[in-house]
Chains A and B, each alone.
Chain A
Amino acid sequence: MSRLRASRHCFRGWDLSEDPYKVLGLTRQASQDDIQKAYRKLAKKHHPDLNPGDRSAEEKFKQVSQAYDLLGDEEKRRRFDRGEIDAQGMERPQHRFYREYADAGADHPYASRAGFDDFADADDIFSQFFTRGGDRFRNVRMRGGDVRYHLRVDFLDAVRGARRTLTLPDGSSMDIEIPAGVEDGQVLRVRGKGAPGLNGGEAGDALIELEIGDHPVFRREGRDIHIDLPITIDEAVLGAKVEAPTPMGPVTMTVPAGANSGRTLRLRGKGVQGRTKGDELVHLNVVLPERIDPELESFMRRWREQHRYDPRRPMKGAA
């Protein structure tokens, strides 16, 4: 729609988004033949070459051509008449009517009990049929409906567990406990926090679907957390004690002498928390200093004279 508005500013007085029928001086009942005739007449009259010096003729001519492009093509005309495309032949967003959702099932927040609540007191087949809930054929008291919510959870909160306060549409709030180790898409059920029950029935539950965010450092695979930990060449060669981040805070770990890139160290119990604790798997990554200083360079030159090695030997003949 903003596109239509924008085009209004382009040409003073002439509006490209104008009704193409009006542009051709026709009604919607016009035949294809009428359309063609009207177009030819107007195109002749407004052709820019026949109207030198009349700037508006050019715009008018464009407008007439555009109207004819649309209405002269039977298929495009039909689509325009149905409102599927606009006067410039652009697709219009298709609005789906409310009934398409409301009539598609009862799984939406506006689903109504359809005024059957009073049937629930009567002891007849209707009350049994129209009484929802787990105990349809015995208990005429109705349990309240479950209400669905969506909650975005921080990566670390999902790993460690957290408490959150949700504000409900009616302004009230609900404290929920996010247990450690919840997974993306998991649904938490909070008993009694859904719609109130009827005729003394218990309240429904709140169903909270969790969406768990990513983390720039930690990756999660099942119960384990993975990180890539950069180490320096001297730490790799000589071994070192280094600090590694874990979801529970940094821990000091020992990098053994000779640890290579790709070597994985396991920090027990530092993964996803919960009843069974996962581990954190630290993938070492040897990183050269940002600038190779002359000392390192000359050392390497000397070193390789005596200690050449070929880490690619196992790949020889791979293809």
Chain B
Amino acid sequence: MLGETEVVALVQGLSRRRLRQWVQAGWVLPAQDEGGSGFSEIDVARARLILHLQRELKIGADAVPIVLSLMDQVYGLRQELRRLARAVEAQPDAVKQAILRSAGGL
């Protein structure tokens, strides 16, 4: 778990104030404990991504949550697809072939 100060030090160009705004807006979701917010590595990577979206790609504050939500959905979809592929993979060969045929994969 990392504190605000550590996250700000790790992400070049990120201010404490901005990080707080992002947490407030729900763009970054640190774990909470009595000592305040606890950030994990994925939060740091996400903060770096948001900074990149805003600075380099000039995505406005209104559009950032849309971009994040779409990205989260894509990653979610990829997880679901993997899960589905694993489920198919676990079937007997005949079933696998049948699924692939009707999906147009063969």
Interface residues of A (CB under 8 A from B): 1, 93, 95-103, 105-106, 108-116, 129-130, 148-152, 164, 166-170
Most buried by A among B34, B35, B78: B34
By the criterion CB–CB under 8 Å, are A1 and B32 in contact? no
In the complex, are the beta carbons of B77 and A115 less than 8 A apart? yes
Chain B 1-15, CB within 8 Å of chain A: the 1/0 string? 100000000101000
Secondary structure dominating the interface of A: loop
Cβ-closest chain B residue relative to A115:
B73
> In the assembly, what is the distance between CA of A214 and CA of B16, in Å?
30
- A108–B71 Cα distance when bound, in Å, is 14
- Chain A residues with Cβ under 8 A from B12's Cβ? 1
B64 on interface, CB distance cutoff 8 Å: no
Ordered by A's residue number, 26 sampled pairs between the chains whose C-beta atoms are within 8 Å are A95-B45, A97-B45, A97-B49, A98-B42, A98-B46, A98-B49, A99-B75, A103-B78, A103-B79, A108-B42, A110-B42, A110-B46, A110-B68, A110-B75, A112-B73, A112-B76, A114-B76, A114-B79, A129-B84, A149-B31, A149-B33, A150-B1, A150-B33, A167-B32, A169-B23, A169-B32
**Contact between chains at A109 and B29 (CB < 8 Å):** yes
Contact B76 A150 (CB under 8 A): no
Q: A106 to B29, Cβ gap below 8 A?
A: no
Check if A98 sits within 8 Å of B45, measured CB to CB.
Answer: yes
Q: Decide if B45 touches A96 in the complex (CB within 8 Å).
A: yes
B34 and A169 contacting across the interface, CB-CB below 8 Å: no
User: A105-B79, A151-B34 given. 7 additional CB < 8 A pairs?
Assistant: A96-B45, A98-B49, A110-B72, A110-B75, A114-B76, A130-B80, A168-B32
- Listed in ascending order, the chain B residues whose CB lies under 8 Å from chain A are 1, 10, 12, 23, 26, 29-35, 37-38, 41-42, 45-46, 48-49, 68-69, 71-80, 84, 87
Are A164 and B75 touching (Cβ within 8 A)?
no
Bound together, the chains give a CA A106 to CA B87 distance in angstroms of 17
A114 with B77: CB separation less than 8 A: yes
B45 touching A101, Cβ below 8 Å:
yes
| Chain A residues with CB below 8 A from B48, complex form | 95, 98
B79 to chain A, nearest CB (A): 5
Which of A95, A105, A170 interacts with B26 by CB under 8 Å?
A170
Question: A103 CA to B79 CA in the complex, in Å?
Answer: 7
Distance (whole angstroms) from the CB of A37 to the closest CB of chain B: 36
Among B10, B72, B84, which residue has its beta carbon within 8 angstroms of that of A112? B72
Q: Which residues of A contact B79 (CB under 8 A)?
A: 103, 105-106, 111, 114
**Docked CA distance A96–B44 (Å):** 9
Q: Inside 8 A of B31's CB, which chain A residues have their CB?
A: 109, 148-150
Query: Contact between A114 and B32 (Cβ–Cβ < 8 Å)?
Result: no
Whether B33 pairs with A151 at a CB distance below 8 angstroms is: yes
Greatest chain A CB density within 10 A among B31, B32, B79 is at B32
